[in-house]
Each structure stands twice: as structure tokens, then as C-alpha cells.
Amino acid sequence: MLDIAIDGPSGAGKSTVSRAAAAELGVIYVDTGALYRAVGVAALRRGLDTKDREGVAAILPEITITLGFVEGEQHVYLDGEDVSKAIRLPEASMAASDVSAVPAVRAFLFDLQRTLAKENDCIMDGRDIGTVVLPDAGLKIFLTASAEERARRRFLELEQRGTPVDFDTLLQEIIQRDYQDSHREIAPLRPADDAVIVDTTGVPFDEVVARVVALAHEAMAKLRAAEILEENEAYGEDTDA
């Protein structure tokens, strides 16, 4: 079984690249950032300041977050409601950054993430997958791009969805989120020591997906070679006996 951890900053293309690569590899895709966004949406809907750690922690027993997969596509449900679109709005992004710094939130979602990886071959993306959630993943990738490139992509995405925003405002929000994510006390955003860095700035989407798929095939080949070696060594021990 091969689990692939893909980390990186907001707007680096983790979800779109991971989703496409998972489809090509025939594994499920788990967008962990969507889980934190769902907690952020739950807090916002209750009128909470998402930086209020005690307030956010207090609502966790009241909410239920589950994942569903419809034709391979991940859907996020908050208390039974499909919030897959609501969690993609800019305010949900900033709220996710705030609540992800709350230890109780990370503990709340930790078991769900690990269970999904244990039960399935998967590509799981987020900001601490390779460093915290799946430290033993067979392949770790840190997907990144310049802040300007990420702002441009998010700007076009929101414009296409009919929710346009000011580009400069969006850029500043991305820079702010980068700072928050990389300086938080709990599981700060950083590449795992053994992660492959993939910079997507100016690189066509198809090429990025192809790179991830190629890395996955390499990792699977190494894993299989190690399994064969282990089997041969075990066979040798049996015949020596």
C-alpha cells in the first residue's frame, strides 16, 4: 500500500493536482485542508472569532464532519450538509488558517485523516501531512509556487465561480496566510526532510500532474523492490533452517 503526502502553501495547486494524479493512479484523494475549512465555516456560522481558541474548541463536540466520495470526487459534509462549495470562499480560507492553529481542532481531525490513509491507497494533501499526519508515507511532495502566481490562480478560479475579489487584497491574504501557517506553534508549514520539492510557478498543469504521477510510479517501484528483497531474505532463512 502506498500513501502519498502532498504538502504546500495555500493556492499552490495541491487539490487540483492531487485530484488529477489520484484519478490517474487509481487511488482516492483526501483533501485535508477541506476538513479545516469546514471547521472554520462552522465557527463563522456561529458568529465566532476564529482566532478565539477556546471558543473554537468548545464547538467541536457539537459538529460532525464527514467525507463522501461521489465518482471519485471528494465531498465534505458539515452536520450532514454538503459544504464543498462554501468552504472554497476566501473567508473560509482565512478561517481555516486560524482554526488549524488550535490543538483541539488538529486532534479532532487527526484520527479521521489517519484512518482514511490506513484503509485506502491515497493521495492526501494539506500542510503537515508528510511531517505530522503521515510521517511514514511512501512518497512526500512539497508543492509550491510564488505568491503572485497563487493569487492569480485563485483570482481566476473565484472569477469563474462568479465571486470576484480584488487581486491585491487576495495577494495580501495569501501572503498573510503563508506567514500564519509557517509560524504557528503546532505543526507549522514546512517541507518534510525527505520531501521532493515541486515548484509549479509557470509550469503547465498537465506537466505538474505528470511529474507527480512519475514520482509515484518511482516510489511504487522502490516499494515493490524492497518487498521482493524482504521475501527473498525470508525464503533464504527458511531454506537455511
Residue spans of the domains in the chain: they are 3-240
**pLDDT(3) > 70:** yes
Q: What is the pTM of this model?
A: 0.77
Instruction: Give the strand pairing for 73-78 and 81-82.
Output: antiparallel
Q: Measure Cα distances from 126 to 12, 84, 137, 237 in Å.
A: 11, 16, 13, 42
pLDDT tier at 232, thresholds 50, 70, 90? confident
Mean pLDDT of the chain: 90
Q: Which segments of the chain does DSSP mark as H helices, in order? A: 14-25, 32-45, 53-59, 90-99, 103-119, 147-160, 167-183, 205-240
pLDDT tier at 162, thresholds 50, 70, 90? confident
Number of other residues whose CB lies within 10 A of the CB of residue 130: 29
pLDDT tier at 236, thresholds 50, 70, 90? low
**Range picked from 43-47, 114-118, 153-157 for highest mean pLDDT:** 43-47
**pLDDT(239) > 80:** no
CATH class, 3-240 region? alpha beta
3-state SS of 202-214 is CCCHHHHHHHHHH
Determine what percent of the chain is predicted with pLDDT higher than 90. 63
Could you say which DSSP state residue 62 is in?
A: G
- Are 95 and 139 contacting, i.e. CB atoms less than 8 angstroms apart? no
Amino acid at 132: V
At 82 the pLDDT is 96
Q: Which of 95, 112, 100, 113 is nearest to 5 (CA)?
A: 113
**pLDDT(238) > 70:** no
Separation of alpha carbons 203 and 86, rounded Å: 29
Q: Classify the phi-psi angles of 53: left when phi > 0, otherwise alpha if psi is within -120 to 50, otherwise beta.
A: alpha
Separation of alpha carbons 212 and 218, rounded Å: 10
For 81-99, what is each residue's pLDDT tens digit? 999 999 988 899 889 989 9
**pLDDT(229) > 70:** yes
Please, is 32 exposed, middle or buried when counting C-beta atoms within 10 Å of its C-beta (0-12, 13-18, 19+)? buried
Task: Measure CA of the first residue to CA of the last residue in the chain; give whole Å.
Answer: 30
The β-bridge partners of 20 are none
Mean pLDDT lowest among 51-65, 114-128, 139-153, 209-223? 114-128
Higher pLDDT, 240 or 186: 186
User: Which three cell numbers mark 29?
Assistant: 484523494
Higher pLDDT, 31 or 168: 168
For 165-220, what is each residue's pLDDT tens digit? 899 999 999 999 899 889 988 888 999 999 999 999 999 999 999 999 999 999 99
For 36-86, what is each residue's pLDDT tens digit? 999 999 999 999 999 999 999 999 999 999 888 777 678 899 999 999 999
Backbone angles phi, psi at 75, to 5 degrees: -120, 140
Residue-wise burial string across 227-240, b where 16 or more C-beta atoms lie within 10 A, e elsewhere: eeeeeeeeeeeeee
Residue identified by cell 485506502 is 120
